[in-house]
Amino acid sequence: MTRPKRPLVRSGTTVEEMARALADEIVRGTLAPGTKLGEGGLGERFGVSRTPVREALGHLSAMGLVERPPNRRAMVAPITDRRLTEMFEAMGELEASCARLAAARMTAGERNALDALHQGARALVRAGAQEAYEAANSRFHGLLYEGCHSGYLRDLVVATRNRVSPFRRAQFRLPGRLEKSWDEHDAIVRAILRGDSEAAAQAVRAHLFTVSAASAAFVTDRHAPPPKE
């Protein structure tokens, strides 16, 4: 007997919990790309055996967050600059598709919620509340994903978002980024409220293009210093 004491709550949440924890750390940048993830080490850390660890790694691998070469240790997926650019680009296309569909399909309630959130965020911009704006921004995009009324499309865009999020996080630190973001959101909201699908798609593409550009600065830095939270 070695293992301390796992409650043995057979609710089937163990693996998911581990996968979430690891995904969070990868997405947050705590686990840098290229970090080796030995099954034994992870098992010890979470107090479980290798079997559920393998399952969790399988999930992360399916999400594209880790690579799992045969007979070798898994590692946090290293992303080339090219790949990252592609992911941002795909992100833009997917969100643009969401916006186009959302402009045509959102219910009145959904439109109101989107507008309310957006108008409320103006105060956060004025206050320079970076953290709060970031959260509002997240919800804003989430409403877009839901607004397209396509679960499959939403899943695709959320998956992509998760994969680029480590590189996206710090963009709001750039001076004037909050204001610019809000203005771009404004164009999106206006287009959606008036039901102009193409304009909405175009506005989203423009928005994500600047997000991509703003994030690029941090991407190039990511090699030299180890990400310090």
Partner DNA sequence: GGCAAGGAATGTGCATACACCTTCGCCACG
Partner DNA sequence: CGTGGCGAAGGTGTATGCACATTCCTTGCC
Using the rule CB under 8 A, give the single segment among 29-37, 83-91, 183-191, 220-228 that binds a second copy. Answer: 83-91
The structure tokens 């293992």 sit at: 3
Give, in degrees to the nearest 5, the angle at Cα 158 between 65 and 175: 90
Q: Does 105 bind a second copy (CB under 8 A)?
A: no
Instruction: Using the minimum distance from each CB to a second copy, give the nearer residue, 129 or 153.
Output: 153
Q: Does 20 bind DNA (CB under 7 A)?
A: no
Q: How distant, in Å, are the alpha carbons of 22, 47, 92, 138, 161 from that of 142?
A: 22, 34, 14, 6, 10
Pairing type for strands 74-76 and 36-37 reads: antiparallel
Strands (E) located in the chain: 36-37, 66-67, 74-76
Contacting residue, 4, 5, 10, 131, with a second copy by CB under 8 A: 10
**Chain positions contacting DNA, by CB under 7 A:** 1-3, 6, 8-10, 12, 14-15, 37-41, 43, 47-52, 54-55, 68, 70-74
Instruction: Kindly list the residues in this chain that would bind a second copy in the complex (CB under 8 A).
Output: 10-12, 51, 54-55, 58-59, 62-63, 70-71, 83, 86-87, 89-90, 93-94, 96-97, 101, 150-153, 156, 160
